[in-house]
Amino acid sequence: MAAEPNTDHRTEQRTTLARVLAQAGLTDVLVTDRAFARRLLTENRQDLLQEIRDGDVDSVRGLARALDRDEAAVSRDVNLLLENDVLEYETRGQRKMPRLKHNAVISEPIISKDGAFDDVLTDV
């Protein structure tokens, strides 16, 4: 099996992908590597992100109730997503409400059948 491409090159590819997406009209996109997505975006955390996006979340406690999960576990997940630039807090008075930080979070493509993705990255 071949080694993973150079990390700096992969970072450059993710930056280029974000730029291509912005040129296509999808702005403020966090492009992650596959390892990040696999490790950080578990099913529970994806549910959490969808609830923040779709629900009227006014606190971590409210988020835990909406998800029917333990508040401490939800708090740990929120903190991890904050630390990794996926979420941010909106502050209103004493309240800190978790919000999506970006318009979209996507993972770098794994592969394209015809190599079209590679062409996009090298042409930009």
What is the Cα Rg of the chain in Å? Answer: 17
pLDDT of residue 115: 63
Q: Which residues contact 93 (CB under 8 A, 6 or more apart)?
A: none
Domain residue spans in the chain? 39-105
- DSSP string computed for 62-118: HHHHHHT--HHHHHHHHHHHHHTTSEEEEEETTEEEEEESSSEEEEPPS--TTSHHH
pLDDT of residue 1: 42
Lowest mean per-residue pLDDT among 7-21, 39-53, 104-118: 104-118
Model confidence pLDDT, tens digit, residues 22-81:
888 888 888 888 888 889 999 999 999 999 999 889 999 999 999 999 999 999 999 999
- Residue range 10-20: mean pLDDT, rounded: 79
Task: Name the strand (E) or helix (H) holding 32.
Answer: strand 29-32
Instruction: Answer yes or no: are the C-beta atoms of 36 and 83 closer than 8 Å.
Output: no
Measured CA to CA, the distance from residue 21 to residue 19 in angstroms comes to 5
Tokens describing residue 54: 């779709």
pLDDT over 70 percentage in the chain: 81
Higher local confidence (pLDDT), 13 or 39: 39
Q: Which fold has domain 39-105?
A: Arc Repressor Mutant, subunit A (1.10.10)
